Structure 1
Amino acid sequence: MILTELQQYLRQHKTTTLDELSCHFAIAPDALRGMLSQLVRKGRVRQLETKKCGGCHSCSPEALELYEWVNSG
């Protein structure tokens, strides 16, 4: 997968979780974090602050890690 495919997905979905991206592209979350960090540095994507859930521990950290498309160009 290349960055343009990731950008296209984020443009279409506006906000998504790392878990959703991992499932869609069939890529490990750690590999996606590297690509997403490049897009964050370029100002195209931002990682949103999320609140921790109630503490049941059934949610994966990737399901709570949100990213938002911010570049309209």
Structure 2
Amino acid sequence: MILLQLKQYIRQHHEVSLEDIQNHFDLSEEAVHGLMAPLIRQGHIQMIESPQCSSGRCSTGCTSRGGNERYLWRDKCFISLPIGVQVL
């Protein structure tokens, strides 16, 4: 049930931070990571890490408190394919 709620929450907001999810669902960071793993594998949710502000305040005015992970909703599936690449 919570996986569906998480998926709907991210789809509704299009982009949310780790902290947003923690606060909205009252979850620990470890719980969020565990719940997000299968959703990311499905392909509609992508996790990105934004660069952390060294001063604690970035140019967009946000304050960074360690949770620099963001989760994005993708209308088209975003699935990594394990394709071997040889560099010459």
**TM category, shorter:** 0.7 to 0.9
* Partner Cα separation in structure 1 for residue 76 and residue 24 of structure 2: 22
Instruction: Please tell me the residue identity of whatever aligns with 2:27.
Output: I
Partner of 1:66: 70
Distance 1:66 1:17 in 2: 4
**Structure number with higher helix proportion:** 1
Greater radius of gyration (CA): 2
Other structure's SS at 1:66 match: strand
RMSD: 2.2
Q: Secondary structure at the match of 1:48?
A: strand
Identity %: 31
Runs of 4+ in 1 over 3 A off after TM superposition: none
TM-score norm. by structure 2 comes to: 0.70
What TM-score, normalized by structure 1, do the two folds share?
A: 0.82
- Where structure 2 has 5 or more consecutive residues not aligned to the other structure, the ranges are 57-62, 78-88
Mind listing any 5+ residue stretches in structure 1 that lack a counterpart? none
* Correspondence 1:1-73 to 2 at 5 A: 2-56=2-56, 59-62=64-67, 64-71=68-75
